[in-house]
Structure formats: structure tokens, C-alpha cells
Amino acid sequence: MKSTLYKKKYIISIIIFAVCLISDRLTKYLAVINLKDKADFVLIKNVLVLTYLENTGAAFSMLAGKRLIFIIITIVFSVIIFLFFLKVKPERRFSPLYICLTVILAGAVGNLIDRIMNGFVVDFIYFQIINFPVFNVADICVTLGVIFLIIFLLFKYRNTDFETKKVSDEEEPFDSIDDEEPLDTAQSKDMSDV
């Protein structure tokens, strides 16, 4: 039963990861083909614009040009997320955590691929109305994943949800069940006649 839960957890996570990563890679490819060295494409005038930007920094172009630092940080961050993912119990109630961790990991890997292959991250979505920095699908995955992860950790789960009960060698896993011998069939039939 437990191995079936683990298999489901991994299969669902792989599908979510693939959908997020493919969406990121495909939209970046389309941005390069349709937006690079071309005029911006206005989706909603003065609100939403598709534009092309090569971001050598982190979010909001912070620490521009520090490629190696971002590659190392992203790899370490991804390993930590993956290890935390492996630690979470394969129970239905933890499904929101699996999804959040998977979406965050997919976004991190999407931008990591850009940094390794290009030396920069392709950004192309611009909310002009609030002058928000240009971003991409991987950024959306990381941002939404982190927001929902924080919400779930603060309001849905308790610290005790993540504790694992250790069973000692001497202790039986079902010690809480009475140690009475089950009635054999003949005894239970005699008692039902009374």
C-alpha cells in the first residue's frame, strides 16, 4: 500500500513538473522567435505587453552578471526542495505540498536551463499598468509555488504533521490494540445464542 502511494506521488509530480517545465521552455522559445529584435506585442493596451528581455540577474534583475552564483544557488536550492519532497509522507493530505514543491522546482530548473545554456534568462511578460519587472512562466511557477507553500505551512499544517513516530525494536506497531485473543468461531456462536 505504501509503495503504491509513493508511486502515485512520484507519477503525479513528474507530470506536473513536465507540464510546468515544457510550458516555460515553449513560451521562452516562442518569445525568442517572435519578440527578439522586434516591436513589443501589446495584448491589452497600457496593461499587458509581451516584450523580449535577456535578464542576467535574479528577480527584478538584481545581481546582474553573477551567473555562476545563480547556478550554484539554484542547484543547492533545487536539491533542498527535492530532499524535502522526499521527506514528506505519501499521504493525500500532503498533496498540496507535493504540488507546491514540484511547481517551485520546475520553475527553478526552467530558469537554470536558461542560465546554463544562454548565460541569461529570457523574460517576456510585462505588466505595464504597474510597471512590474518583466518575467516569465518559470518565475510564475516559483512565485505561486512559494506563496501557496507559505499559506499551507502557516494555515493548513502543524509541526506535528511532519513528525515521524519512531517505533523501537521492542515496541510493536499495534501495541495500542488490546492483546486479547480473538474469540474462535465456536465460542462466538455459543455467545450469540445466549
- Active-site amino acid positions: 123, 139
Which residues are bridge partners to 127 per DSSP?
Answer: 48
Amino acid in the structure at residue 151: I
123 has which bridge partners?
A: 53
According to DSSP, the residues that pair with 54 across neighbouring strands are 122
User: Which residues have a Cβ under 8 Å from the Cβ of 182 and sit 6 or more positions away?
Assistant: none
φ, ψ for residue 49 (rounded to 5)? -130, 140
